[in-house]
Structure 1
Amino acid sequence: MRVLHIHWAARPVTGGVEAHLDAVVRQLGTLPCDVETVSGTRESLGAAYDAALDLEVPAAASDITALVGRCARADIVHWHNPQWHKPSVTSAVVDALQGRGWRGRFVFDLHNIDEQPDQWELLARLPGRMVAHSPFVAEETRRRLGGREVTVLPLTLAEAEGEYSLPCRDRTVVLQPTRMTRWKGSHLSLEAALVLLEEGADLHFVHAGTRHLVWPPGISEELLERARGWQEKGRIHFVHYTPEQSWAAISQSDIVVHPTIDRGTHGEPYSLSVAQAVICGRHVIASDSGHLPRMLSRYSAGRLVRAGQLEDLTDALREAVRKPLVGQGPHDLSLSRELREGFATAGAAHLRFYRSSSAA
């Protein structure tokens, strides 16, 4: 079986889709199938560059023809977020393959969903099986697409754990382990940390994911200027590490924050970093966004706050800094094992799904 994974970006671009894509393809590479990845990221070592997918340049007709040729050689074309960025490329490739009578199967993978009507119109036209990675996204997609079948497949991360040391360990460490961007609530966590530092709280605030961003973070210069004094004092840190190093970074933190600002179809679709924090037994403060309430409903050290509400986040963080985390209970350990097992077997779950798609 020949499987082609397509996404607009690949590592070293910072993001959950890119981290999952790299890891699941590595797992599939150890199984009985031929797997290849293409993306629009020129400097990627894990994916072949395809000009039609490049977000910085328009796709020429020759670029689309080349991508169609790549797809035609595959039995399964697994397209991640086909509705985002260059939907005209998605439509052109799908139409061309159908026009030439391609006998393979499409898998359309919805990592992130949005309110834009044109995205849902495109998804409704796409011929193939749809997958998501959380019940939240799957249910919203079924609702939007008139009950269309959507299969939930597990996400994964790099199994190898790289060495990494946070630049601070002498005080309570508050870590936001997401890419630095407004929709992940980076401005909220930074401002909440500043409020507590100005109150005299004994903490370090660390924000990861500060490099290899597709778009600028969107954090106001005023807020960054307010943070610079605390950076000079060694209490605020902007860092970057690889997915392999993320396990070490999260394990060295005391409190993990994930204050995604959006709700509804803009909500956090899963959150690999929160799942890691649960596996590592960290105190977690997250917004009541998307899949996060479901994941944390079974976790005793999880606290939900209203999405986009700075005051709620600040209050929860203040309380968490003052109240050290106690050990994990049986339900926490059970959830941790379940999440880790899902990560470890994601490749096998994908291969079973591909085989069922080919047999259909």
Structure 2
Amino acid sequence: MTATGPTPGPPSESGTGRPLRVGIVCPYSFDAPGGVQFHVRDLAQALQRLGHEVSVLAPADEDTPVPDVVTSAGRAVAVRYNGSVARLTFGPRAATRVRRWLEAGDFDVLHLHEPMVPSLSMLALWLAEAPVVATFHTSQERSRALQVAFPLLRQSLEKIAGRIAVSEDARRTLIDHVGGDAVVIPNGVYVDEFDRAQPDERWRGTPEAPTIAFLGRLDEPRKGLEVLAAAAPRVLETFPGARFLVAGRGDAGRDAAIGALGPRSGSFEFLGGISDSEKASLLASADLYVAPQTGGESFGIVLVEAMSAGAGVVASDLGAFRRVLDDGAAGRLFRTGEPEDLARALLAALDDPEGTAERKACASAFVRRFDWSAVTQQVLAVYEMAVAAGDAMDGGVSLRGDERVGWLRGRRPGGGEGA
């Protein structure tokens, strides 16, 4: 697995006055990477580019290729979580590996992703002595897993000096299940890498035979492939040459979609798993990218990637997607889980090329706020606050979690505004 993005440049010091030693813990296995793993990988690279020393701890099998920055914590076990299948590592052996990694790293700041999930991140939180920053990715109205984990972590959560949520939806989930607050910092994308991606003639469409791309794990119903399959016949009535390019792993999901489509199945081309460069090329080639997810999405990183690559976007009106698409200004929205409304939105985008072009132009400007150049500086601001809070505690001053968030937002402990 290779990382996308620019190559490392000259060191750049953070606001602490020196490069930081940063330890990042990813709870999910790199055997089947998804949004959190890619986020961790790209953040590590962006920090290295600024001159910081970074080490990532994550589950991975011995034969799984991982980026050089990743230390494997061993094989993971697949469990159901948040409407998906998460591959996690937990238990005494994993705890020993976490302890050794922490001792060897001697980190200035420890960045844990999803510490409420029984995983490496939870173990690292229990064992942590360095200042801790935590990022919360999950978005759910009600999570039994978080409700169960909270009593186990109640005391350890006080170690967290800075809380980050990747979206307002993730922030709300955290507040409802755990309490306290978090700073919203979105997932990052190397926007220019997608903007420069070259189209592939195999995936380019024409006005009469447009191409519509979908990326996601095909065996996860919440990714919405069944919704897209149900909407396709109506699109094909108007555009009989339309091609649906489906990228992602999952034989059962592919077979179910083919069965549901019947004689229309020839319009769906299943590409299987694709590389980062192929993904960028696919998004640069397709006329439209469709995101028919039905729930469980806290951000929508692939929407940002599609917008960066210049594809027109049609997405379900989940709260996270609505915000990424600037409430519909940067892409068309349809009612979640409704194939007829998805078909309407797809046809509207194809029948109105001028309107679609206007949304693409809006998207091209809007995605800049998600570029790693901007996101990394926001993350570093949290690191610096966490290190400063740790120094204050060493000096006999202790900040409560809500005061730490207030400090980051410019309020001095005790309620006054910062200078």
TM-score range relative to shorter protein: 0.7 to 0.9
Verify: 1:207 aligned to 2:240, yes or no. Answer: no
Distance in structure 2 (CA, Å) of the matches to 1:131 and 1:253: 34
Verify: 1:95 aligned to 2:126, yes or no. Answer: yes
Alignment of 1:55-204 (within 5 A): 55=78, 59-72=90-103, 73-84=106-117, 86-87=118-119, 90-97=121-128, 102=129, 104-114=130-140, 115-120=142-147, 122-123=149-150, 125=154, 126=157, 127-128=159-160, 129-146=162-179, 148-158=180-190, 160=193, 165=200, 167-170=202-205, 171-180=209-218, 181-197=220-236, 201-204=240-243
The 1:243/1:19 distance shift into structure 2, 3 A limit, reads farther
Deviations for 1:33-78, whole angstroms, at most 9, x for unmatched residues? 2101121122132122102755468744233122122134323222
Verify: 1:292 aligned to 2:321, yes or no. Answer: yes
Distance in structure 1 (CA, Å) of the matches to 2:47 and 2:112: 16
The 1:137/1:64 distance shift into structure 2, 3 A limit, reads same
Deviations for 1:130-177, whole angstroms, at most 9, x for unmatched residues? 21112232234224433x120122322356456562633342011113
Distance in structure 2 (CA, Å) of the matches to 1:206 and 1:67: 41
Tell me the residue number matched to 1:13. Answer: 32
Deviations for 1:176-204, whole angstroms, at most 9, x for unmatched residues? 13333311112211332245336763300
Using the aligned pairs only, state the percent identity: 20
Distance in structure 2 (CA, Å) of the matches to 1:90 and 1:142: 19
Amino acid at match of 1:4: G
Matched position secondary structure for 2:202: coil
Return the index of the structure with the highest Cα Rg.
2
Amino acid at match of 1:224: I
Verify: 1:49 aligned to 2:72, yes or no. Answer: yes
Tell me the residue number matched to 2:11. Answer: none
Amino acid at match of 2:236: L
Verify: 1:225 aligned to 2:259, yes or no. Answer: yes
Q: Is the 8 A contact 2:115 2:121 kept in 1?
A: yes
Q: Report how far residue 298 of structure 1 moved.
A: 4.9
Amino acid at match of 1:337: A
Tell me the residue number matched to 1:340. Answer: 368
Distance in structure 2 (CA, Å) of the matches to 1:112 and 1:135: 11
The 1:4/1:229 distance shift into structure 2, 3 A limit, reads farther
The 1:4/1:242 distance shift into structure 2, 3 A limit, reads same
Q: Is the 8 A contact 1:285 1:305 kept in 2?
A: yes
Q: Is the 8 A contact 1:133 1:153 kept in 2?
A: yes
Q: Which stretches in structure 2 are left out of the alignment for 5+ residues?
A: 1-19, 79-86, 390-419
Q: Is the 8 A contact 1:15 1:178 kept in 2?
A: no
Q: Is the 8 A contact 1:173 1:255 kept in 2?
A: yes
Q: Is the 8 A contact 1:174 1:204 kept in 2?
A: yes
The 1:91/1:16 distance shift into structure 2, 3 A limit, reads closer
Distance in structure 2 (CA, Å) of the matches to 1:252 and 1:204: 12
Distance in structure 2 (CA, Å) of the matches to 1:357 and 1:57: 27
Q: Which stretches in structure 1 are left out of the alignment for 5+ residues?
A: 211-215
TM-score, normalising length: structure 2: 0.71
Alignment of 1:236-251 (within 5 A): 236-239=268-271, 240-251=273-284
Matched position secondary structure for 2:371: helix
Q: Is the 8 A contact 1:192 1:310 kept in 2?
A: yes
Q: Report how far residue 206 of structure 1 moved.
A: 0.8
The 1:132/1:53 distance shift into structure 2, 3 A limit, reads farther
Tell me the residue number matched to 1:22. Answer: 41
Distance in structure 2 (CA, Å) of the matches to 1:60 and 1:143: 28
Q: Is the 8 A contact 1:8 1:40 kept in 2?
A: yes
